[in-house]
Amino acid sequence: MNRGFGIIEIVIGSAVLATSLLGISAYYQQSLRVSNSTAQVVQASLLLEEGLEVAKFFRDTSWTNISAPATGATYYLAFDGTNWATSTTNTYVDGLFERKIRLDDVYRDGNDDVVSSGGTLDTGTRKVTTTVSWRDHTATTTRIVETYLVNIF
């Protein structure tokens, strides 16, 4: 009779141990997924910030770098190790992140406030929109930052 209880104890102990290990493994896998997603969000945020900084660099180099590009056209940023440039050819950062910038005209009303339509064209201000998109599991995640650049020179 004691032999039967010993086998049952071993089976129950093995089941408890297997369930515990399975739970720990599932928790670890979920932690890795969340960590990877968080790392992608952080990297995308840094790429957004870098995109705005590159636009400021273009402005500081020459206002025509900001005022000349076509309004609403999409440009991709390319870095050759020394210089930044814009391109109409899509490039991916680390083979995952798509980063693009768009420059738009800015219009002001009679109170010198920015308006979405109508008003007078402000040739000394451009709206810069930086977008970063990446594929995360089965969906595409997109982050967008907008700001205004002013010809300070």
How many Å apart are CA 57 and CA 65, to the nearest integer?
A: 9
pTM of the model: 0.77
pLDDT at 37 exceeding the cut of 90: no
Instruction: Tell me 94's DSSP state.
Output: T
pLDDT at 3 exceeding the cut of 80: no
Q: Mean pLDDT in the chain?
A: 90
How many Å apart are CA 62 and CA 151, to the nearest integer?
A: 9
Instruction: Tell me 91's DSSP state.
Output: -
* Percentage, residues of the chain above pLDDT 70: 97
**So where are the chain's domains?**
2-150
